[in-house]
Amino acid sequence: MKSTNLLAIFLFFAFASLSVSSGGMMGKPTAQSEYDLGLSFFNRGHYEEAISHFERATEIQPEFGKAYLYLGRSYLNLSRWKEAISPLRTAFRLSPEESREQIADMIMDVLLLKASELDPDEASQMEDIFRRE
């Protein structure tokens, strides 16, 4: 009985000291953990929730190119075009080889989407612009 109590007390203090020394069991969030949470929300179509996690990832690790890329993609999916520009530019600056093709695809998707929403007169004007040499 006495040894059981001593063991329980020892385990309690060992756990308590471990928790305090490591900043708690969860510890501080890392850029990768915030990115992973953001990606989880992004993949389920919860772009608003994803944005806050991608932003935290970039605050923790300002050179995290993929976090900027998905931050920009989240803004695009919410039709917040102007807000998408800065993170997409940053993603391109940080990792041009990795993000170049994805950003080009996103821009093409947005252009085609917007073109499909034009009325016939506006579409005709757009065709004239692209035909000019």
Written as tens digits, the pLDDT of the chain (133 aa) is 555 555 555 555 555 554 444 444 467 999 999 999 999 999 999 999 999 999 999 999 999 999 999 999 999 999 998 999 999 999 999 988 888 888 888 878 878 887 788 777 766 666 666 665 5
Please check whether residue 73 lies inside any domain of the structure: yes
pLDDT for res 64: 96
pLDDT for res 20: 43
- Give the closest residue to 91 by CA, choosing from 47, 58, 43, 113: 58
- Token pair in block for residue 36: 């992973």
- CATH number of the domain that 40 lies in? 1.25.40.10
| Domain range enclosing 98 | 31-131
Q: How far is CA 127 from the centre of its chain?
A: 35
Please check whether residue 20 lies inside any domain of the structure: no
Please check whether residue 25 lies inside any domain of the structure: no
Please check whether residue 2 lies inside any domain of the structure: no
Distance CA 115, CA 39 (A): 29
User: 89 near 104, Cβ under 8 Å?
Assistant: no
Please check whether residue 60 lies inside any domain of the structure: yes
Please check whether residue 4 lies inside any domain of the structure: no
User: How many domains does one find in the chain?
Assistant: 1
